[in-house]
Amino acid sequence: MNNKNKINFINKEHEDFYKEKMKILQQYGKTDVYYRSIVYTLGICPTTRENFEQIFDIQNREININSLQGSYQTETSEKVTRMAFSLWNRCMYDSEQDIEDEKISRGYNICEIFSCSYAPYFYESIKIRYPEYTNEINNYDIQQLEKINEYYTNDKSEDADNLLAENDSIFIEEDER
């Protein structure tokens, strides 16, 4: 695995959990970005790792939205669960009743989810779920972006626009260049 595809884990338990669940997923032929991101995310926190089967049903491909009400949930594990649900199917509810009432939870707000020590690993979850949008920018691209920013800062927007037009590949996958 090259560095571009390297996954950062919070600890060995997280990595072991991920690998164990990925073996199970391979048996079912379910290893797409949805499965990989939900397993990775729910593996971040010990509470969600220990209660994985109550939160997500691999065989039926279902999240258990009512698991957010589980007695085992902590404020932090709720954030992990919401992040996983959001990546799975853009969930915004905390219970089946909330879905019926169309009551969107504030807990899915990015400032709510990311306000904990797991934030760097949530970004890893996003990279797993959306690899096509989270490519690393190489040094050349950074230099070009800094130059564009400098042009805009110095009221030279026409120069910045020209440089952007010349370098429209800055955000294209390296393999596509």
Give residue limits of the domains in the chain.
3-129, 139-176
Residue 56 main-chain phi, psi, to 5 deg? -140, 135
Q: What is the pLDDT along the chain (177 residues), one digit of tens a residue?
A: 445 568 999 999 999 999 999 999 999 888 999 999 999 999 999 999 999 999 999 888 899 999 999 999 999 999 999 999 999 988 888 888 888 888 888 878 888 989 899 999 999 999 999 988 887 655 556 666 676 667 666 666 676 666 666 655 444 444 443
Q: What b/e string do you get for 6-22 counting C-beta neighbours within 10 Å, with b at 16 or more?
A: eeebbeeebeebbeebb
Dist. CA 113–CA 76, nearest whole Å:
9
Alpha helices in 8-137 (DSSP H): 12-28, 33-43, 46-50, 52-55, 75-89, 96-101, 110-113, 119-129
